[in-house]
Amino acid sequence: MARPVIGVIGNRHIVEDRFAVQMAGERNLSAVAEVVHGLPLVFAGSPALTDIPALLDAVDGIILTGARANVHPRLFHTEPSPKYEPYDENRDALALPLIEACVERAVPVFGICRGFQEMNVAFGGSLHPEIRELPGRMNHRMPRLENGEIHPDPTVVFADRHTVRLVPKGAFARIFGRDTIRVNSLHGQGILEAGKRIVIEGLAEDETVEAIRIQDAPGFALGVQWHAEYDPQTNPVNRALFETFGAAVRDHRGLTK
């Protein structure tokens, strides 16, 4: 049986201060290949390069990954600030309508970190540019050394750092078979106000939104704030997410292709 094709969104980077490229982290690709048992296909996060209907004709599911760039504040009626740069407006311009198209066509879509935030904004929600600045919130950024540099050990950076309380009997609780999980934390932006079809299913200890689903979506349409792609090969929580996404992809493939 042919492996399902999973579209993984790319992010714009400048290499050697000269060359514009589209990049996707290998951990996302490995999660698709090793846990979903699919073929990862990186597509450009730019409407000038990627046609959404053609893309959705070519893939069986979509993963919207995390990224260095923040979602641009103008998309939720907030003034931008150099403090919260960089932005990637090309990715914004592609990802938001892509999410709506996936939901409309029942194409499984899985949002991770920035992708989770894009899902909220696509349905009219807003973000806070730096969630740790809100009263009572913890620092959700990746761990750093005393000199301010990012910790060099990825096992420390991606270690589970806080608890997420799940809605009992909700979609995520059913996936994991429990109402509480532990996750990593590597983000600045976070959900401030939920979009009109966004159902909040998981909260961190400080009430930061960590897990969402799209209400009445005909297919898989879930998002998580943490980096589930880091270790689904060994982490049972993240494995369950990717396996459930994979099952949804195969169901969609069987119905439509």
Q: How many other CB atoms are found less than 10 A from the CB of residue 54?
A: 10
Cα angle 217, 52, 115 (rounded to 5 degrees) comes to: 55
Which residue has 């939104």 as its token pair?
209
Residue numbers annotated as active site: 113, 227, 229
Alpha-carbon distance of 209 to 207, in angstroms, equals 6
What phi and psi values does residue 200 have, to the nearest 5 degrees?
-80, 125
CA distance 42 to 39: 10
Closest CA relative to residue 108, chosen from 159, 156, 64: 64
Distances (CA, A) of 210 to 94, 150, 200, 216: 23, 23, 8, 19
In three state form, how does the secondary structure of 57-115 look? HHCCEEEECCCCCECCHHHHCCCCCHHHCCECHHHHHHHHHHHHHHHHHCCCEEEECHH
